Structures are given as C-alpha cells and as structure tokens.
Amino acid sequence: MTDNLLLGSLWLIPLLGMAIVLCIPTAWTRSIKWIALGATIAVLIESLVVMAVYTTHAAAQAPLSERVLENRLVAGAGGGSVEAVESPVASLDLVVRRPWMPSFNIQYYLGVDGVSLGLVVLTGLIGVLACLASWNIDKQVKGYYALYLLLCSSMMGVFLSLDLILFYVFFEIMLLPMYFLIAIWGGPRREYAAIKFLLYTLLGSVFILVAILVLYFYEGVSSGGFQGHSFDLVGLATIVTGTTYYPRSVQGWVFLLFFVGFIIKLPSFPFHTWLPDAHVEAPTPISMILAGVLLKTGGYGLARLAWPLAPAGAYDWSMLAAVLGVVSIVYGAFVTMGQTDFKKLVAYSSVSHMGYVTLGMAAMSLFAADGSTRLDPRYYAYGVNGAMYMMLAHGITSAGMFFLVGAIYDRTGTREMARLGGLNNVMPRLSAYAYVIFFGAMGLPGLCGFVGEIFVLLSAFHYSMPLASVAAAAIVLTAGYILWTIQRVFMGRDESWKGAPDLNVRETFIAVPLVILTIALGVLPQPLVLSWMSPSVDQTVKGIATAPRK
C-alpha cells in the first residue's frame, strides 16, 4: 500500500492538478498558476521522499534485474500469466504490480531503482523550476498549465514504468502536450518546429513499438518456465541475460529498433535536426523541460530497454553506437561554435553532450566472441555510470542555461550574441550564476559535468583508443565555445544594456538550486549520487556482461 501511494502519486498528482486547473474559471489566472506550482512542488517533495526511502534501505534494496526471485514470471503455453511472489522486503523495493489487461499480460507495473531514481528526482525538480519560469505566461494560461501538468505526469510515468506497454503509453502521451506547448506558445516558426518535433519522435516511437512486439510475440524454446508473451521488462531482462531464449539474430534486430527509436529522442547524429528548431521556438520554461528531462527519456530507454533486453545485439552493434556517440560529440561541438543565436548555441551543445551518453553505453569492454576475457567488464560499468551521471548533470546545466538565455532575452529583446556584450557590468548576479552553470556544462573539474565525462572517457579508452582520443580532444572544442560565448555575451564594456534589471527574487529562486547542484554534484558525487546509483547500474552491467551470445 505504501509503495502504491508513493509511486502512484508521482504521476497522479500532476493529473489531479490538471483536472483542478480545467475546472477553474479561465479568468482566475493567478489561482491557476498557484495550483500548478503547488502540484509540482508536491511531486518534488514526493520524489524526495521516495529517494529517502530508497537510500535508507539501500542495504535491503535488490536491483531490479535480481527481482526475478521476488516477482517470478509464470507463463503457460497459451500465452501465460503473471504471478507476483511477495518478497519479505517488498515494502522496501518500491515496486507496485497489479493486473491491468490480464488477457494480454499487460500490467500496471511501477518501480524505482538506482537507474531511474535520479531521473525521477530530476523530473520533480525541473518541473517546479520550469513552472516558476512560466509565471510570465499570459496567453491562454489555463490551457498552458493544463498541458504542462500533463507533460510532467507523462514524463514521470516513463521513468517509473516496468511494463513495456505502460512505458510506451506514457512515452506517447508525453509527445502531445509538448507539441501543443511549442505550437501555441512558441516563437514565429512555432508550427514548423512543433510538427517537426512530433514527426521525428513519432518515427522513433514506431521503431520502439515494433521492438516491443517482437519481444512479445517471439516463439522460442521454452526455458526456465518461460514461454514468451510478456511485457514484463524485469522478467524479460532476467530471461534474456540468463538464457538463449532470444537468438543472437533476433536480439540484433531488437537492439537496432530500440537504438534508433531512442537516439532520435536523445537526440544523436544524424537524427538531431528537430532539436534546435524545437528549442529556438519553444518558450523558455518548455526549453528547460525539453533539455532537462525530455531528452533523458532517450538515454533512459537505452539503459533500461535497449541494452538489457538485447545484450547480444548490443554487443554486435556496440561499435556503431560508439561511433555515432563520438560523431555527435565532435559534430555537435563544431556546429555549436558556429552559432550566433544564443539559444540555438545551447541547443546544439546538447547534441554534443548527449553523445557522451551514447558512448558510455556503447563502450562494452566485455569478452571476446569465443568467451575468453578481453577486458575487465568493470570498465564498462564506468561507462554506464558515467552515462547516467551525465544525464543528471546535463539535466541541471542545460535547464540552467536555457533559463538564463531566456532571462537575457526578456531584458534585451535579442538572442544575437553579436548585439550582446558587457552584461557582467549590468547584471552581475545573473552573470555570476551563468559562469558556474556554463563552466559546469564545460566539464570543469569540481563541477557536475566533469564526473560523467571522465567516467565515460575512462571506459572508452579501454574499449577503443582511437574513438576515446577523439572524444577526449572534443573537450577542447567544448571549452572553446563556452569561453567564446562568455566573452561575447558577458565581457567587455558595452553600454547598450545599461539600466537593464538583474534577476528578480522569483528568478533567483530558479537559478540558485541549479547553481548549488552544479557545484555539489561535482564536489560530492559519491555520497549524493553514486552511492545509490552504482549498485543498480553495476548489476545491470553484470547481467549484460554475462548474457549468452549465441
């Protein structure tokens, strides 16, 4: 009951807030804003409670990949059914499992472990901050906040779902509010950007759905009491990593389908072109949500579905994935350097940073095809830990950068960096926050971006020295465009913006948590994140590393 309340409320509270907003008269705009803010604060508090419960009982917490002993899949030849076996520590596992559509083995199945916990808390935090950043929205306020709360609910559902169909439902619902939030409240080319976003992500969803259906309908040789026809993510991952139920050829196709579907959302080269348009046209708070959380659903899908459900296919295609990751890093950095629009520069930087996520997942330093040891698989665990940490760090810094770009635009009316300059003298508080967040994105030691990058590069050097060398060299490009941006926007003695106001109290409340986390995650990565994230990540890597490849 406690788990059901904790996990269910994470996605139901925003829906309840949306229902209340829709029932309030349109003219009560101030009440609508406060209700939406209250709902997002409640979700953040709930996510922190979940974190406290999880970390408090970490010693008793079994990673999701081990829970086959607690939630055993019992299936018959006619399609099977799912039976939940109660665990003596079920209340500590934060798992909710109920029948939803029993005829098809579809369940209401939610859970949290170290892989998803950080993203759940990140969603709660960015949800509150973006809601505060939306305070100046004065066009169709009721519709905006209703869609915003629906978006927060669906994003949270993606990170909680452990049934593939439930995951897909939340994943698809997420697209519609984002489409309308860009198309109605965006910039001059908002319709074009919104439809481009929707078409790209729907294309990715098709690949994901086909992969899910292949896993469900495949008729293999019965193994361990398992005869297929299940959408149970944990059960499927346990079977795949423990048996040869899905042949290597089938896993190859499943992996490719998942991989293409999720790197479109990440996004990775060459499927990244929707991102700059969406960011440039989206209002500032929606850019914060898009960069801070929505892109992470792509990386999370790789870590939760693509690699664990098709480890043999992932091993076969790991070099392609690693190459795409490195290309995204380098290409994104070069294109970022060529931007003159401040917001588009931040958008392209996300392409580069998300390349580290792909590289970290792909650097599979495991075993040779004949089964002999090639490299210690613990180095692969560094890469996956780095990829997960990079998503959290980027979620903080990218949301902060988009917020600060929006604040500058509100005061100057331009995003053209050639027209900006000297803001350090005019807005010292905004500039100070910007330095910390931009240097965090650059990966400066002592700030959050450094930890994820160094873990990924350490893993990559044990996987492919040439690819790792290129990825490491790209750090210089990142430093180049960050420093050049700071010089063009904040330095100098340009008097054009003299008298422009600095951050107000509301905006300071948005910026300060992001600045604090940028520093804290760089200085204290072990106690704040790695202590509870690494055990689940390491267990996932162990399952992938020991999975049969025949």
Sketch the domain layout of the chain as residue ranges.
Answer: 317-540
Question: What is the reported pLDDT for 483?
Answer: 94
**Distance separating alpha carbons of residues 519 and 504, to the nearest angstrom:** 22
Question: What is the reported pLDDT for 450?
Answer: 95
CB atoms within 10 A of CB 494: 16
Kindly tell me the burial class for residue 18, based on how many C-beta atoms sit within 10 Å of its own C-beta (0-12, 13-18, 19 or more).
buried
In eight-state DSSP terms, residue 294 is: I
User: Who contacts 281 (Cβ-Cβ below 8 Å, separation ≥6)?
Assistant: 182, 186, 187, 188, 189, 190, 192, 193, 194
Which segments in the chain show pLDDT lower than 50?
Answer: 59-92, 221-227, 368-371, 373
- Tell me if 268 sits within 8 A of 325, measured CB to CB: yes
Query: Where in 387-443 does DSSP place strands (E)?
Result: none
From 111, 298, 295, select the one nearest 207 (Cα to Cα): 298
Distance of CA 455 to the CA centre of its chain: 18
Distance of CA 458 to the CA centre of its chain: 22
Residue 232 three-state SS: strand
- Tell me if 74 sits within 8 A of 83, measured CB to CB: yes
- Tell me if 40 sits within 8 A of 9, measured CB to CB: no
**Distance separating alpha carbons of residues 36 and 419, to the nearest angstrom:** 36
Residue 221: phi and psi, rounded to 5, are -80, 130
Q: For strand 106-111 and strand 81-82, is the pairing parallel, antiparallel, or unpaired? A: unpaired
For the chain, the C-alpha Rg in angstroms (whole number) is 23
From 376, 382, 383, select the one nearest 360 (Cα to Cα): 383
Residue 342 three-state SS: helix
Question: What is the reported pLDDT for 60?
Answer: 47
Distance of CA 509 to the CA centre of its chain: 23
Question: What DSSP string describes 55-114?
Answer: HHTTTTPPPGGGGGGTS-EE--TTS-EE-PPPPTTHHHHTEEEEEEEGGGTEEEEEE--H
**Distance separating alpha carbons of residues 115 and 388, to the nearest angstrom:** 7
C-alpha pair distances (Å), 55 with each of 153, 214, 324, 496, 518: 24, 36, 35, 51, 21
Question: What is the reported pLDDT for 486?
Answer: 93
- Tell me if 415 sits within 8 A of 450, measured CB to CB: no
Name the residue with tokens 């930890």.
451
What tokens does 80 get? 């099977």
Kindly tell me the burial class for residue 371, based on how many C-beta atoms sit within 10 Å of its own C-beta (0-12, 13-18, 19 or more).
exposed
**Distance separating alpha carbons of residues 127 and 18, to the nearest angstrom:** 14
Question: What is the reported pLDDT for 375?
Answer: 53
User: Who contacts 539 (Cβ-Cβ below 8 Å, separation ≥6)?
Assistant: 63, 65, 66
CA torsion through residues 354, 357, 358, 363, sign: positive
Question: What is the reported pLDDT for 13?
Answer: 96
What tokens does 399 get? 């949301």
